[in-house]
Amino acid sequence: MPQTASPTSNLYRIEARPDGVALVLAGDWGAATHLPTTSRVVDELLGATGADASGQAVVDGRELVSAHPRVAALVYGVNEQLRKRDVALRYEGLPESVQALVTLARPAAATDTTVRRAHWLTRLGERGRNRLGSVSNTAELIGNAFAATPKLAVGRAQARWVDFMALIRETGASSLPVVTIVNLLIGAVLGFVGAVQLATFGAGLYLADLVGIAVAREMAAIMTAFIMAGRIGATFAAHLATMEANEEIDALRMIGVSPFEFLVLPRLTALTLMMPLLFLYAAALGIGGGMIVAELVLNTSPASFLGRLQDAVAVRHFVIGFIKAVCFGVLIALASCYLGMRAGRNAAEVGRAATRTVVVSIIGIIVIDAIFALCTNALGV
């Protein structure tokens, strides 16, 4: 009784060639219902003449009707099993799409990922170089600010007034609600703590001295600066970092527009102008919060509180707070723009730039306030 031919016999055959055994693929593998197994094909290849451990095999795909992914799956399996037996495999006439799938499925070659730790002197030198580079870049940013500000004043800077007015609104009017709540409550807290302590000694009238001086010299400027660092500084840094990631800043340079004048200078000017005004507003709210507490806790009338406030709080206290507010505004603007424009070009760096801006700004605010305290104490102001 004659044997029935295998349904996979017309999909491939094994040929012995002078340069090695050949696996000839043929037919339409997409329409086939029975496909050869990888192990069967490999056994036939190894059993053929010339397919020893030192020989090589060839995959010939010139008789294929279509480049179906099934072909790539078989070729990949054959390739992997022959590679384990040190038999080289090369392709002839195999469709490019099949070769691409085989290459994509092949695991990447293992590489030596061992990283040798550099000598501590080398690491110290690299850190020092990075710090010097940061100092140099910061100095360059400050120098550009001094050089470009007069251009903005006379209208010759490469900046749009519509952007500047939008920044004025964002740093000023849009910040009023949070500034109002925080400073009003800070004044009330100072007033309540002071009232409890001063009432013990029968010196409740001096609550106006405590609240007025503390708010005018310290709390109004510092709390407003903290608010602006978290709200505006982080926004500036995230915006500029996103532009850096999208290569928009590079595009500005390519068309001859200064990124500093177009992006940094309007932000620096807007925040520097708004911070002193927000300080005055915050100081009034803080004193108002203390006055409300004085009336509720100590039964001190607003007229008595304001009269004592006028005698106790000199103008110099407001001047000191005003100057601090200007310095804080410059610090927040420069820090946010510097970190935003030097962020990496990926989404994670946008968040890191915003976080670093808030941290650097808060630390800088405290340092500047400490310097002011030392200087005013030395001058007796």
Summarize pLDDT for 78-91 with one digit per residue, the tens: 888 887 877 778 88
For the chain, domains (ranges, CATH) are 12-105 (3.30.750.24), 147-379 (no CATH)
Of the ranges 150-154, 248-252, 304-308, 338-342, which one carries the lowest mean pLDDT score?
Answer: 150-154
What local confidence, expressed as pLDDT, does residue 30 receive?
78
Cα four-point dihedral sign 192, 193, 196, 202: negative
Mean pLDDT of the chain: 84
Residue 55 has pLDDT above 70, yes or no: no
Q: SS3 of 306, please? A: helix
Q: What mean pLDDT do residues 326-344 have?
A: 91
What are 379's two structure tokens? 């001058």
Report whether 149 contacts 269 (CB < 8 A).
Answer: yes
- Which of 302-316, 341-355, 363-377 shows the highest mean pLDDT? 363-377
pLDDT band at 107 (very low <50, low <70, confident <90, very high): low
Residue 343 has pLDDT above 60, yes or no: yes
Q: What mean pLDDT do residues 241-253 have?
A: 88
Q: SS3 of 58, please? A: strand
Residue 54 has pLDDT above 70, yes or no: no
pLDDT band at 1 (very low <50, low <70, confident <90, very high): very low
Dist. CA 192–CA 213, nearest whole Å: 15
What local confidence, expressed as pLDDT, does residue 51 receive?
43
What local confidence, expressed as pLDDT, does residue 115 receive?
60
Nearest C-alpha neighbor of 194 from the set 306, 298, 111, 299 = 298
Dist. CA 49–CA 16, nearest whole Å: 6
Report whether 38 contacts 70 (CB < 8 A).
Answer: no
Residue 323 has pLDDT above 90, yes or no: yes
- Which of 49-63, 129-143, 298-312 shows the highest mean pLDDT? 298-312
Nearest C-alpha neighbor of 53 from the set 29, 20, 17, 87 = 87
Classify burial at 105, counting beta carbons within 10 Å of its beta carbon; exposed 0-12, middle 13-18, buried 19 or more.
middle
Full-model pTM: 0.67
What local confidence, expressed as pLDDT, does residue 270 receive?
93
Q: Where are the alpha helices (DSSP H) in 201-297?
A: 207-214, 220-228, 234-245, 248-254, 259, 265-297
What are 300's two structure tokens? 């001190």
Percentage, residues of the chain above pLDDT 70: 93
Report whether 268 contacts 145 (CB < 8 A).
Answer: yes
pLDDT band at 158 (very low <50, low <70, confident <90, very high): confident
CA atoms within 13 A on the CB side of 178: 15
What local confidence, expressed as pLDDT, does residue 7 receive?
54
pLDDT band at 109 (very low <50, low <70, confident <90, very high): low
Residue 183 has pLDDT above 70, yes or no: yes
What local confidence, expressed as pLDDT, does residue 232 receive?
93
Q: SS3 of 314, please? A: coil
Dist. CA 155–CA 98, nearest whole Å: 63
What local confidence, expressed as pLDDT, does residue 53 receive?
45
DSSP-assigned letter for residue 84: H
pLDDT band at 108 (very low <50, low <70, confident <90, very high): low
Between 234 and 28, residue with greater pLDDT: 234
What local confidence, expressed as pLDDT, does residue 311 receive?
87
Tell me how far the alpha carbon of residue 302 is from its chain's centroid. 49
Residue 11 has pLDDT above 90, yes or no: no
What local confidence, expressed as pLDDT, does residue 27 receive?
83
What local confidence, expressed as pLDDT, does residue 292 receive?
93
What local confidence, expressed as pLDDT, does residue 52 receive?
47
Question: Nearest 5°: phi and psi at 24?
Answer: -95, 120
Q: Per-residue b/e over 188-212, b at no fewer than 16 CB within 10 Å?
A: bebbbebbeebeeeeebbebbbbbb
pLDDT band at 37 (very low <50, low <70, confident <90, very high): confident
What local confidence, expressed as pLDDT, does residue 280 receive?
95
- Amino acid letter, residue 194: G
Longest Cα pair distance anywhere in the chain, in angstroms? 125
109: left (phi over 0), alpha (psi -120 to 50) or beta: beta
Q: SS3 of 59, please? A: strand
